[in-house]
Amino acid sequence: MTHVTRRRLFGAGLAAAGAALLGRDTPPRDSPNAPVTSPTPPPLLAPPPHPAPSPSPSPSLAPLSRPVFTLREYRQVVPGPDFPPDAVALTIDDGPHPAWTPQVLRLLERYGVPAMFCLIGNQILGHEGVARSIVAAGHQVANHTWSHPAGIATLPPDLVQQELDRAQEKIHDVTGHTPTIFRSPGGAVSPAVFAAAAKTGMIPVNWDTDPRDWTRPGTGAITDRLLKARPGDILLCHDGGGDRSQTCAALRTVIPALQARGLRFIALGAEA
């Protein structure tokens, strides 16, 4: 199987984005207690199209006041060519896991699907080889904090920054890649979360198709929810945080079914 082509996102081209945000009703979230942003923010402003290679560490960005939820919103913040009109993005949270991550990787390879794996820093400990296998297979890695604090939106700014910085350092040290995308636990956000993501050179990205697979509602329920995906959606699934056999079983049905409907999977941060 040919590995998926990857392209690093470049921080300097992102820095102009994020002064204002696109309106949307209450955002989806991974936890019923996750804090949410204002339901009526102003529109996102498209940045000038002048991306440039970012130094290491990534430069600070202008903080957003709301996460990205769709591919259209992502492209408003991150300069680049338009996504294909039939594109969807699959994101996988809470790994790496020694059992479930390899199963997901084999499934993605079987169907030629790229994905973005949102890695928890302390889950990489002892599973460094699994983390490296994600990158070796051509997938993108994102920062999902060091310890996945459910109450991240209530933490003081210094602790929020520490969560992002420690995960960023671990992911880079193990995989050789520096994430440019941040996924907050449960999608929870606060001014401190946005500021920390911007300082670390990352765009906060949530989702708009959530099967709530982390609750283990049954393979059928996960399948039905994911099959409702539409072009431009960002899909949320999990390969860590518990028994993910239902998720893996659902994806075996969902991926070929969505492909049969004409949807094309793309990886955020990679050339579409």
pLDDT digits (tens, 9 = 90+) for 19-75: 334 334 333 334 333 333 333 333 433 333 333 333 345 567 888 989 999 999 999
Query: Residue 220 is part of a domain; what is its CATH number?
Result: 3.20.20.370
Query: Domain range holding 197?
Result: 61-266
Q: Does residue 104 lie within any of the structural domains?
A: yes
- Low-confidence stretches of the chain (pLDDT < 70) are 1-59, 270-272
The per-residue b/e assignment along 245-256, b for 16 or more CB within 10 angstroms, e otherwise, is: ebbbbbbbebbe
H helices present in 152-218, as ranges: 157-175, 191-199
172 is catalytic: no
- Among the listed residues 30, 148, 238, 239, the single catalytic one is 238
Cis status, amide bond into 96, omega within 30 of 0:
yes
Q: Does residue 189 lie within any of the structural domains?
A: yes
Q: Report the domain count for the chain.
A: 1
Q: Report the DSSP beta bridge partners of residue 68.
A: 205
Q: Does residue 19 lie within any of the structural domains?
A: no
* pLDDT tens column, 124-141: 999 999 999 999 999 999
93 is catalytic: yes
- Among the listed residues 93, 210, 233, 239, the single catalytic one is 93
Alpha-carbon gap, residue 175 to 146, rounded angstroms: 15
Q: Does residue 34 lie within any of the structural domains?
A: no
Q: Does residue 248 lie within any of the structural domains?
A: yes
